[in-house]
Amino acid sequence: MKIFKPAEFGCGVRIVTTGAYLPERVVSNADLVAMGAPLDAEEMVRLSGIKFRRWVAENQATSDLAIAAGRQALACAGDLAVSLDRLVVATVSSDYSSPSTACLVHAGLGLPRLPVFDLTASCAGFLYALDAAARAVATGDRAVLAVAADVRSRYLDVTDRATCALFGDGAGAALLAPAPPNQGLLAIGLSADGTGAHSIYVPAGGSREAASPETVATRRHCIRMQDGPQIYLSAVEGMLLAARELLDSVSLTFKDIDWLIPHQANMHILKRIAWKAGLPLEKVICNIETVGNISGATVAVAMDEALRAKRLKAGDRVLLLAAGAGYTAGAALYVVDEDLLANVGCGANI
């Protein structure tokens, strides 16, 4: 795993504000059953821990969610909102194959001329965006907006037993800026193992298999999960390995962590990670029951919710953790400060 520690470069990076957005449409398990899902509502809860998820309206796309989350973060940023030097958008559900969703978010936020780009890291998207933003701040940017947004409902086959109950839509954002060394973001690490590239994927619609009437008719534009039990084990072990490597790099253990904010993939995964890490479930931020798996945006949304609910306190060590298709993985250790708590409190709730 490649680990970045800002203090080693004589600087620090802090999160100034966060933002999040969830679509208004609430989809229950009973709603999915009515759409043709092959599981009943109780089975969905038993297998995933999910009771509800949010889906976009017909006229919404990924950029709309990202703009809303970004606007909320910038609204509480003060003078830094006009000092933005860069925008990073993590997504696996771009509005179009071209141009980038970041360009659409740039226009929607009314930003001046500055570098913007998309990156793709599946469910580890927010941590990859956070890493890119932190490195930009460490090399001179005054403020960088990192956004993770996904619309997975448009790629969902409700008749597929393996995935029908899992996915929701949403976006989360964080504005990063310089800080004194050893404050804010203490360390962030990323890794990938490309041998898992076909574990969870969308077969058609890319350059390998272009869209056609046949691919649409056979639902090859929908998410496919090849081996659920193996993916479960890979997600647990991948996140634990990333966490341990990151904590080792700063001479800490799970016992030193106040809060764990993991990717919300499945409630069973969250419970197993907590158990293997020796953490009580009360120290794990969980919102999967009401929002489902929002892919790369889950960690960002969960962190924003925890801040707004005042669950996080100044001085708390927070471990952000994610694993995604590919396989991708990431971990970040963040120390909460009073300014972040004050800034997040100024914006409207999602």
pLDDT along the chain (350 residues), means of 10: 97 97 98 97 96 97 98 92 95 96 98 97 96 98 98 96 95 98 97 87 91 91 80 82 96 97 94 94 96 97 97 97 92 97 72
Q: What is the pLDDT of residue 238?
A: 87
Catalytic residue selected from 123, 164, 222, 286: 123
Strands 259-262 and 144-151: unpaired
CATH number of 18's domain: 3.40.47.10
**How many Å apart are CA 169 and CA 61, to the nearest integer?**
10
Q: How many domains does the chain have?
A: 1
Residue 44: which domain range? 1-350
Q: What is the pLDDT of residue 326?
A: 83
Catalytic residue selected from 106, 263, 286, 343: 263
Bridge partners, residue 148, by sequence: 90, 172
Bridge partners, residue 118, by sequence: 89
Query: Is 263 noted as a catalytic residue in this protein?
Result: yes
Q: What is the pLDDT of residue 345?
A: 66
Name the pTM for this structure.
Answer: 0.96
Q: What is the pLDDT of residue 72?
A: 95
Bridge partners, residue 224, by sequence: 201
Bridge partners, residue 192, by sequence: 328
Tell me which H or E stretch contains 26. strand 25-28
